[in-house]
Amino acid sequence: MTDQNGSLLILSGPSGSGKSTLCRELCAAFDFATLSISTTTRSPREGEKDGEHYFFTNHESFQSAIHRGDFLEWARVHNNLYGTSKSWVESALAADKTIIFDIDVQGQASLKKLYPRAATSVFITTRTSEVLRERLAKRATESADAIETRLVTAAEEMTRIAEYDYLIINDNFETSLTALKSVAIASRLKRGESEIADFTARWNACDPQNACAIRKS
């Protein structure tokens, strides 16, 4: 069995559910956790910095990256494109990191297919759609029409909760963060069938240098 504990922790859920804040706090809590930085064609929001929150690019450059096969997954969300760099993820896994992803349901499905052992997914949402509407309105970053669009998207995302390993209803931030920390730690202990078979075979092997080996009289 490999000693590498690198993993992918995928967080999805409606905009306004609190997952971005949970991502940041999780990364601050653990040295092994690092936040995946997506490439996107959308414009930066107030306070967002290129290379820290997202890699901002245009549609032409993004399409070129798709054709080169640079993305592990990509998706169109609200007429903008989002993608995850293949080389960046592989490097982080090799460095024994747990990579935290804040991506949509399409990206989640793609990553779990590519990394069935390493990937663990969590769906984060509010108790009701009305609570989500209130949070989006309180954020005051989008128009009423944009909020309605996000609510429609959220309703569609909710139909795919069963695809996720865990569900966190973010009523209380500290409770949700504690739960997410537990999932992050557990994600590093997952092993695939081949890794388990390899470890079991070596564990059972008779090693003459091992003091516990069975010796014939």
With 70 as the cut, is the pLDDT of residue 17 above it? Answer: yes
Residue 172 gets which letter from DSSP?
A: S
First to last CA, the chain: 32
Domains and CATH numbers, the chain: 7-193 (3.40.50.300)
Mind listing the pLDDT tens digit for each residue in 30-44? 999 999 988 999 999
The Cα 31–Cα 188 span in angstroms is 13
Report the alpha-carbon distance of residue 107 to residue 66 in Å, rounded: 14
Encoded amino acid at 22, one letter: L
CB 170 within 8 Å of CB 18:
yes
CA 133 → CA 17, 96, 145, 174, 181, distances in Å?
Answer: 10, 38, 12, 21, 27
Strands 80-85 and 39-40: antiparallel
Whether the predicted pLDDT of 192 surpasses 80: no
CA–CA distance, 172 with 126 (Å, rounded to integer): 10
The whole-angstrom separation of Cα 192 and Cα 190 is: 7
Classified as helix, coil or strand, 84 is strand
Q: Is pLDDT at 214 greater than 80 in this prediction?
A: no
Instruction: Answer with the residue of higher pLDDT: 216 or 12.
Output: 12
Q: What is the structure's pLDDT at 77?
A: 81
Predicted local confidence at residue 172, as pLDDT: 95
| Helical packing angle, 144-158 and 129-139, nearest 10° | 140
SS3 content of the chain, % helix, strand, coil (to 5): 45, 20, 35
Q: pTM for the whole thing?
A: 0.78
Q: How confident is the model at residue 2 (pLDDT cuts 50, 70, 90)?
A: very low
> How do strand 71-77 and strand 80-85 relate by DSSP bridges?
antiparallel
Q: 195-211, pLDDT tens digit by residue?
A: 788 888 888 886 655 54
Residue-wise pLDDT for 69-114, tens only, equals: 999 888 888 789 999 889 889 889 999 999 999 888 988 998 999 9
